[in-house]
């Protein structure tokens, strides 16, 4: 094997390539629009290691919805953020015997069809103000919510999030609706 010397330009290219490849590691949805920033947490006493039980177990329960095939949606957080939106977080648990795909949760709206199996069809309803708030989306039509909710195995729990436009200040009591699931009353906290 013959080694060629290419000088500083080759070193610069090699360093840039190494930086790009380092940023590609880990796979999954981290850093993409729609990926939950809280989906990855460190295990206690073990920084850098992912702990599925920490991210899958809500610290509090605002509401629970139980649907067909023993699917349970637990809402653990609904926060009004200073940027003018509400973030709802929680988990999806498959307590049934079959693998679950959230394809019907995308909703019927064509504008979010690119989101695939997701919670893009979720809606916040203000019954007092008589308004519905749909999941926000980016310029490509992808929801600002958890996507790729396919292949959820029996006894598996996955975290989810969805972002909505914020209702007027002072409006805290809302109803969270998800296609095929019963509605759930939630209270929005100030962020």
175 domain residue, yes or no: yes
Residue 29: inside a domain, yes or no? no
Domain range for residue 105? 42-190
The pLDDT-based confidence of 59 (bands split at 50, 70, 90) is low
**Pairing state between β 123-126 and 189-190:** unpaired
Evaluate whether residue 18 is within a structural domain: no
Residue with the bigger pLDDT between 49 and 170: it is 170
Instruction: Report the alpha-carbon distance of residue 65 to residue 115 in Å, rounded.
Output: 22
List the CATH number of the domain containing 136.
2.60.40
Residue 32 lies in a domain: no
Q: Is 68 part of any domain?
A: yes
pLDDT bracket for residue 92 (50, 70, 90):
very high
Residues 5-23: what's their mean pLDDT?
39
State the Cα angle at 52 between 46 and 56, rounded to 5°.
130
171 inside domain: yes
Mean pLDDT of 114-120: 84
Residue 144 is predicted with a pLDDT of: 92
Q: Would you say residue 146 lies in a domain?
A: yes
- Which residues are CB-neighbours of 181 under 8 A, at least 6 positions away? 65, 67, 71, 73, 105
Least confident of 78-82, 139-143, 170-174: 139-143
How far separated are the first and last CA of the chain, in Å rounded? 60
Q: Is the pLDDT score of 117 beyond 90?
A: no
pLDDT band at 106 (very low <50, low <70, confident <90, very high): confident
Percent of the chain with pLDDT over 70: 67
Quote the number of domains for the chain: 1
Q: Phi/psi of residue 17, each to 5°?
A: -65, -40
- Is the predicted pLDDT of residue 16 greater than 70, yes or no? no
Q: Is residue 116 part of a domain?
A: yes
């Amino acid at each position: 094997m013959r080694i060629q010397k290419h000088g500083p330009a080759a070193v610069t290219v090699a360093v840039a390539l190494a930086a790009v490849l380092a940023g590609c590691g880990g796979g999954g949805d981290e850093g993409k629009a729609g990926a939950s920033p809280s989906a990855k947490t460190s295990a206690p006493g073990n920084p850098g290691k992912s702990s599925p039980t920490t991210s899958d177990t809500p610290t509090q329960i605002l509401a629970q919805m139980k649907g067909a095939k023993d699917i349970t949606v637990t809402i653990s957080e609904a926060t009004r953020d200073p940027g003018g939106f509400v973030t709802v977080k929680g988990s999806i648990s498959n307590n049934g015997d079959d693998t679950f795909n959230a394809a019907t949760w995308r909703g019927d709206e064509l504008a979010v069809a690119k989101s695939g199996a997701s919670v893009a069809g979720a809606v916040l309803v203000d019954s007092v103000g008589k308004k519905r708030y749909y999941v926000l989306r980016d310029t490509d039509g992808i929801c600002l919510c958890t996507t790729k909710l396919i292949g959820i195995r029996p006894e598996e729990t996955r975290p989810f999030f969805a972002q909505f436009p914020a209702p007027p200040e002072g409006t805290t009591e809302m109803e969270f609706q998800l296609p095929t699931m019963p509605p759930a009353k939630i209270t929005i906290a100030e962020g």
